[in-house]
Every structure is written in C-alpha cells, then in structure tokens.
Amino acid sequence: MEFAFTQEQDMIRETAAAFLAEVSDSAAIRRAMVTDTGYDPQLWSRICTEMYWQAIHVPEACGGMGLGYVELVATMEQMGRRLLCSPFFATVCLAVNALRVAGNEAQQAHWLGQICEGSVTATLAFNGGSRHEDAEAITATWQRDGDSYVLNGDYRYVIDGHSADLLIVAARAEGTSGAEGISLFLLPAHTVGVTRVWLPTMDQTRKQATVQMSGVTLAQDALMGEPGQGWASLAKIIDLATIALAAEQVGGCQQLLDMTVAYTSERVQFNRTIASYQAVKHKAADMMLQTEVARSAIYYAACVAQEALEGGPLAGELSEAASVAKSYCSDAYFSIAGDSLQLFGGVGFTWEYDVHLYFKRAKSSEQLLGNGALHRERLASALLD
Amino acid sequence: MKLSFSPEDEQFRQEVAGWLQQNLTGEFEKLRYRGGPGDEHMFPEERKVWERTLAEGGWTCVGWAKEYGGRGCSIEQQVIFFEEYARAGAPGRVGHIGEGLAGPTIIAFGTQEQKEKYLPGIVAGTQLWCQGYSEPSAGSDLANVKTKARFDEGRGKWVINGQKVWTSLAHESEYCFAIARTEPDSVAHKGLGFFLIEMDQPGIEVRPIEQITGTSEFNEVFFDDAVCGAGDIVGAPGDGWKVAMGLLGFERGVSTLGQQMQFQNELDEIVRLAKSNGAAQDPVIRQRIAGAHAELKIMRYNSMRILSGQSGSDGALQKEALIYKLFWSTWHRSLGELAMDVLGPECEILEDGPYELSRLQSMYLFVRSDTIYGGTNQIQRNIIAERGLGMPREPKGAAK
C-alpha cells in the first residue's frame, strides 16, 4: 500500500507550482480576468507547448502524455492555488474526460489529437438552468430528421462556453425525463444555429456563458455513444470533472492558509503580531485541519478516478468518491475563504488585496457541479434509501 | 500511489480473520464489541483471559520485532490486523497500554535487564500496565508534575510520593509507568524521571473515579512511600520528559484504523436506527448522516497518508498526522450528538434502572472526553498552529 506521491508525481507537482507562481501572480490574474475570453492566449499557448498540460491524461496513442488522474489532480491543485485563468478545466477536465468516456475511436483520434496540439479548446454543456446539476437539469432536446439530428434548447452556466472551439452537449429526446432519452453530441462551436453569450459573473476568474441551440442540424458522426443512452456516460464524466474541481478547491484552501499565516505574522496590533493571539492561531489551526482533510479526500478520489478510466477494483466507487470529495472540499474552501477574509480584517474587504478573488472563487466552485448539500444528499440516498 | 494490498498481505488477512472466527466463540462470544473506550469497565476478568488467548495464538505485540517476542509484522500487516480485529468485533484490549506504550518505551530506552524483566509479561498478556502522567495540577500543562521520587540509599530503592489521576485500568494493572520529579526544586520538564512501578504494594492506593456515565474506568492513584527498584528507572534521573515524549514518536497511527472500524460500527448502528424509526426521512438528519459518513471515509484516507508518508528528517510529524487527533475527536463527539438526535425522545429512555445506558447513550456521554484527554482540542490547536504553521508560541505565566 503506497498512498503517497511517487518521485515523478512530486516532480510534476513541484514543476507546476514553480511555473504557476511565475506566470499566474496577482497582476497576471487581474489582467486575464477582465479580458473577453477570460484568459491570456499567450500563456495558454505556453502551457500547451512548454508544459503540455492539455495532454496530461490523454492516451499516448491519441498524442497525449498518457499520465494518470493523480498527475491531473496534482496539477489542478496547483492551478487552484494560483487561480490560473485558463480554459484548462473546461477543455481537459470536462471535454477530454467526455471524449475518453463517451467518444468513439474516430472522435477520440480527431478531437483529442487537436486538443493535444493546442489548437482547440472545448467544453461541456448540459444544464438548462437548474440549481441541481443532475439529469433533470438537461432540458435541451434532440430529434431525428432522416440521417441527421436536430438540437433545440438552452444551456446555462457553460464554463468557457463563449470561447471554446468545440462543444460537447447533452440533450434529451422530446417528452423524456430524468435519466431517460439523453444523448451526447459533439459539435464545432461555430455550427449554424448555435448562439453563445458571455455571462458576467461575480467570480471573474472563471468565465461562464449561455449557449442556445436553435434547429442545430448535426450529422450522424456528431453523436457520442448510443442515442438515448447517454446519462450513464455523462454521470461518469461529471464525477470525473467533480474530482478535478475538488482538487482545485484544495489548492485554493492551501493558498488562503499560507496567505493568512503570512499576513497575520506581519500585522502588529497592541505591540504583538496578531498571529500570536490564540483567537487567530486557533482559527488558522482549523483552516489547516480542513485543508489537510480535504487533501486526503482528493488524493483518494484521484486514485478512484484513475481506476474508473483505466479499470481496477476501485472503479465502482467513483460516484461516492466524487461526492465525498466535493462535499468536503466545497465546504472547506468556502469556510477557509470566509475565515481568511475575517483574519485579514479591513484589508481583506478591499479590491486591492487578493482575498476577495479566492472568496469569490470559493463560492463559484462550491456551486459548480453540485454544492456540499447536494453531494451529501447523493451519499444519503445511497446509504438510507 | 497504490492502494491495494499485496497477495501475501491478503493471505495474512485471511489468517487473522480465520483465527478470530475460530477463537472469538464460546465464553468469549459475549465480549464482542465490548470493552472499548467508554466500556472499559465491562468484563475485565474475561478480557484478561482473552488477552492470554490472543498471546497463545501469537496475536499480541504484532508490530514488535521478533527479538522482543513480537510477530515482526510490516506496517501493512499491522493495519490488516487492527482492521480485522475491529471488524470481528473483538473486545477492547486490556493489554493495549503495555503493548502500545510501556513496551515500545522500554524497547527504545530501557536496559537489557528491564527488557528481560518486563517485555515477556506484556507479550504473554499476563502483565497489564497503566500510565501515570496526569496529576491534579498537571493536565494540559503535563510537565507541571508534583509527584516526587527520592532515592533511598539505605534500601537501594526509589521512594515515590504524590498523586496521579485519570489513570485508566489502574485497578486491573500489575505495573504503572509514571513520571515523577527526581530533583526536588526543578520545574517544568527538567528534573523528571521515568519509573516502572509495581502496583501491588502497600504504598499504592487506587480509587475509581465515577464518570459522567455513572461507570468508572479512570482512577486516582495515590503514592504514599511507594517503592521501585534502583533498576526500574528508564533513562537517567532528569531524562524522564525525554523518555515520556519519545512515546509519541512510536504511535504512527496504525491502531487508528482499528479505532475507525469501531466508529464505523457505531455509524452503522445509527444508520440502521434512522431507517427503522423514520429519521432517515428527515432532510437535516440525512445531511448529518451523509456528512459523518463522508468524513469517516476521509479519516481512513488520512490515516493511509500518515502510514505511507515519510516523517521529516527531524522526526517532526507530517501535517496530516498533526491534525489527526483534533479531527477524529471532534468527529466522534458530533457522532454522539447525531445518535441522540436520530433517537429523538427515545434517547432519554435507559436500558434499565438505576442507570443502565445503551451502547449509543454511553457513547454519546463518553465522547465528551475525546476532545479533552490526550491533549484537549484547545491544546491541539496550539500545537497545530505552532508546529504546523510556525505561528508564535504561547507565552508562559510566571512560575509561582
């Protein structure tokens, strides 16, 4: 039993930490977050050519690095720490997972290849505007028209939806509900009938959009998997992305803790650093506890995700591991962000200091792909019903 | 990262489970799930027999080196042993203080003579130990020990006077390891000695403490000219604190996985209860049960991290180990509250008079001690902030 990073995994983490500290400092985040796309295309291009992260867990046969989910999670943790503004989550954690889980050989060869080249960004859209991100949230519809499929309907909360080159969307057969009738489709974002509108968001470090389908006509090869049988795949894709998102949350927890300890160790009141007060120390201790517990949750979930993709005895635990990790990490991140803001005092309330960036990101991450309560209810229904 | 056990380890698991299945029967059947924390007062005599039966099977001191009579098990095998032990519902070990604390200290710091005198009785399950650290004025401030040890040249013995408190199993134990002041005017952690003291002697009196549960497993121990031999001090006079703190390094958290199995048993009982009495339909209860379930899962992963990780070169605890006590004790205390809220008004009704508590009622009351003993939650937070985050140390008051 080895529940620790290997030397290679440690190196990947250290490399990511050093690179991101350099390229995603406060000034870089603030520049990127007010742009239209929400990220710096030059930096993304550097990531795609120097770091090759977009290819991290794409199989080598499709042009990827062929690394595992543990490496992906370790990288996401560092991105969360530095609030990296990039299309990584949408492209890799949503779309690459979707292609790996539901794509056929031709779709994988074509699109994974393009993503690895760095020439294409992608995202996944399924939620029509529900506060619960589950099967019921899918309201867009598909219908057959001869050899084609026609899609109609709206998607909301689509991560990087306005800037992605490739869309993977879920739609349901007209008249179906729940997990029935759901299909997944792949389409270039500029397909006729697709309208995409950027949504201004409170957390500016992650961009969201609405995507509207109005009589979008797709050929047979746009379909992923069997028609109407898409929910099982989509549920798995969402669970995989949820674990990556939880890792990003842990990175945010760690950075807030480090920032808070550093600030309170400098700030002097009543002739003492405020870090010397027990009221402050005990709050920081609780923040460290939450951070370490959250980290234990995501490392285990990463191992489960790896087996869910590649096979192994833990594969069946995917849904539970995702809910365990996301419920704890969501609550931990928001709680730590709130405590951090409090311990920074007045300056934590300013636009100038970075705490608000994390505070806002903590809330948007909490709500994305199901908040703590939703994931606990998922666990409860497995335990109690 | 690899999370699976090797085929050899899985075979070892079968061996442990098989032995327990064959032996935890007959007269021992009634000991299942008994004698753990909060239940230590139950069936002491039967559990002593069980301890010797374990020893005959070679299942005491599994993590000790073979040269000291142990089984020489790897970390993985120790994990498996504790898991299977708890899974089978085998009773709380009366020998755990000797096996987990006294023995490892003697192995690390003791003389050859001490090893030969004391280790075989621990391995055989025939000699039980208790721990004499806390005193009325030495709680969180553990180094503020007042008990005195004076060497009587004429008799060639150490003479000990003072009082210990919160000593679990003192009334069942053959020996006590205790810290006492060898230098009369010394303060704090300086001038202490670490002694191995026989309990059955006129100078020692044990008085049970009646707890919140109405039962007693902790005791007060009074030393009134109690004695131990010249060779029964571990380390030099004055080194007692170093020896006592050395114990902390021995516990890498292997046994915590067994403790978590006990927690799982309790949570399972709460889940069964919630399903049968309708509490499982209450959305708030559902959230709390799921939260407890999630955190218990993570507790296990956290222990796996502790066991797989390397301690720093300075022997410092890893961060995931530093937070462990605060995490599990707080979790367990909440579980007690959850159990009562699942029971609803039924939580008030006892098994029997005058004060016979059910397992969950007893757990609910006993877990209030989890956040106090072994370093209170407040002390734990100081330790985490100071050692884990490098924040300033607490100022000490002037000595009186």
Q: Which CATH superfamily is domain B252-388 in?
A: Butyryl-CoA Dehydrogenase, subunit A, domain 3 (1.20.140.10)
CATH superfamily of B7-94: Acyl-CoA dehydrogenase/oxidase, N-terminal domain (1.10.540.10)
Helices (H) then strands (E): counts for chain A? 13, 10
In chain B, CATH 2.40.110.10 covers: 129-239
Q: What angle do CA A219, A220, A224 make, to 5 degrees?
A: 115
Please report the pLDDT score of residue A133 as a whole number: 82
Compute the distance between CA of residue A286 and CA of residue B382 in angstroms, rounded to an integer: 10
pLDDT averages per 10-residue partition of chain B, 400 residues: 80 96 95 85 92 97 95 90 90 92 94 98 97 94 94 97 95 96 92 97 97 93 98 96 79 72 93 98 98 97 82 61 94 98 97 94 96 94 96 84
Tell me which of B251, B351, B356, B386 is the catalytic residue.
B251
Length of chain A: 385
Q: State which fold the B129-239 domain adopts.
A: Butyryl-CoA Dehydrogenase, subunit A; domain 2 (2.40.110)
pLDDT tens profile A171-229? 999 999 999 999 999 999 999 999 999 999 999 999 999 999 999 999 999 999 999 99
Distance from CA of A231 to the nearest CA of B (A): 24
- What pLDDT does residue B251 have? 57
* Closest to A329 in 3D by CA, of A219, A204, A242: A242
Beta bridge partners of B294: none
pLDDT given for residue A206 in this prediction: 97
B391 → closest Cβ in A6, A265, A385: A265
- What class does CATH assign to A231-384? mainly alpha
Give the mutation candidate from A266, A292, A295, A329 for the B interface (greatest B CB count, under 10 A).
A292
Q: How far apart are CA B106 and CA B111, in angstroms?
A: 8
* Closest by Cα among B112, B149, B170 to B228: B149
SS (H, E, C) chain B: CECCCCHHHHHHHHHHHHHHHHHCCHHHHHHCCCCCCCCCCCCHHHHHHHHHHHHHCCCCCCCCCHHHCCCCCCHHHHHHHHHHHHHCCCCCCCCHHHHHHHHHHHHHHCCHHHHHHHHHHHHHCCCCEEEECCECCECCCCCCCCCEEEEECCCCEEEEEEEEECCCCHHHCCEEEEEEECCCCCCCCCCEEEEEEECCCCCEEEEECCCCCCCCCCEEEEEEEEEEECCCEEEEEEEHHHHHHHHHHHCCCHHHHHHHHHHHHHHHHHHHHHHHHCHHHCHHHHHHHHHHHHHHHHHHHHHHHHHHCCCCCCCCCCHHHHCHHHHHHHHHHHHHHHHHHHHHHHHHCCCECCCECCHHHHHHHHHHHCCCCCCCHHHHHHHHHHHHCCCCCCCCCCCC
What are the residue ranges spanned by the domains of chain A?
7-121, 124-224, 231-384
Q: Do A1 and B4 touch (CB under 8 A)?
A: yes
Minimum CA–CA partner of A265 in chain B: B391
Residue of B nearest to A332 (CA): B295
Q: What are phi and psi of A43, to 5 degrees?
A: -65, -40
Q: How far apart are CA A55 and CA A75, in angstroms?
A: 12
Measured CA to CA, the distance from residue A107 to residue A385 in angstroms comes to 39
Which CATH number applies to A7-121? 1.10.540.10
- Chain B residue numbers with beta carbons less than 8 Å from the beta carbon of A246 are none
Q: Which of chain A's residues have a Cβ under 8 Å away from the Cβ of B293?
A: 379, 383
In residues, how long is chain B? 400
Q: Residue B298's closest CA among A135, A293, A37, A177?
A: A293
pLDDT on residue A342: 98
- Minimal CA separation from A71 to chain B, in Å: 10
The pLDDT value recorded for residue B396 is 84
Contacts of B264 in chain A (CB under 8 A): none
User: How many whole angstroms separate alpha carbon A363 and alpha carbon A330?
Assistant: 8
Most A CBs within 10 Å, among B297, B320, B326, B328, to test the A interface: B297
A362 and A333 Cβ atoms separated by less than 8 Å: yes
Whole-angstrom Cα distance, residue B78 to residue B86? Answer: 12
Q: Which residues in chain A are contacts of B381 at CB distance < 8 A?
A: 278, 281-282, 285-286
- How would you classify residue B224: left for phi > 0, otherwise alpha for psi between -120 and 50, otherwise beta? beta
Judge whether B114 and B231 are in contact, CB under 8 Å: yes
| Candidate from B293, B310, B390 with C-beta closest to A379 | B293
| Residue with the two structure tokens 């190196």 | A11
pLDDT digit string (tens) for chain A, length 385 residues: 578 888 999 999 999 999 999 999 999 999 999 999 999 999 999 999 999 999 999 999 999 999 999 999 999 999 999 999 999 999 999 999 999 999 999 999 999 999 999 999 999 999 999 988 889 999 999 999 999 999 999 999 999 999 999 999 999 999 999 999 999 999 999 999 999 999 999 999 999 999 999 999 999 999 999 999 999 999 999 999 999 999 999 999 999 999 999 999 999 999 999 999 999 999 999 999 999 999 999 999 999 999 999 999 899 999 999 999 999 999 999 999 999 999 999 999 999 999 999 999 999 999 999 999 999 999 999 999 9
When CB atoms are compared, the residue of A276, A314, A377 closest to B286 is: A377
- Residue A267 buriedness (CB in 10 A; 0-12 / 13-18 / 19+): middle
**For the CA atoms of A142, A143, A148, A153, what is the dihedral angle to 10 degrees?**
-40
pLDDT at B252: 55
Distance CA A87, CA A69 (A): 18
Cβ separation of B392 and A289 shorter than 8 Å?
Answer: no
Residue whose structure tokens are 């959305």: B283
Q: Answer yes or no: same fold for A7-121 and A231-384.
A: no
CATH 1.10.540.10 location in chain B: 7-94
Reduced to 3 states (helix: H, G, I; strand: E, B; else coil), residue A112 is: helix
Distance, C-alpha A40 to centroid of its chain: 18
Which overall architecture, per CATH, does domain A124-224 show? Answer: Beta Barrel (2.40)
Please state, in angstroms and rounded to a whole number, the distance separating the CA atoms of residues A89 and A159: 8
Do A258 and B391 form a contact (C-beta atoms < 8 A)? no
Structure tokens that stand for A28 in this block: 């870089």
Q: Find tokens 């030969």 and name the residue.
A: B116
Is B15 among the residues known to form the active site? no
- Chain B contact probe: residue of A9, A288, A303, A371 with most B CBs at under 10 A: A288
Collapsed DSSP state (helix, strand, coil) of residue A122: strand
Angle between helices A278-310 and A318-344 (to 10 degrees): 160
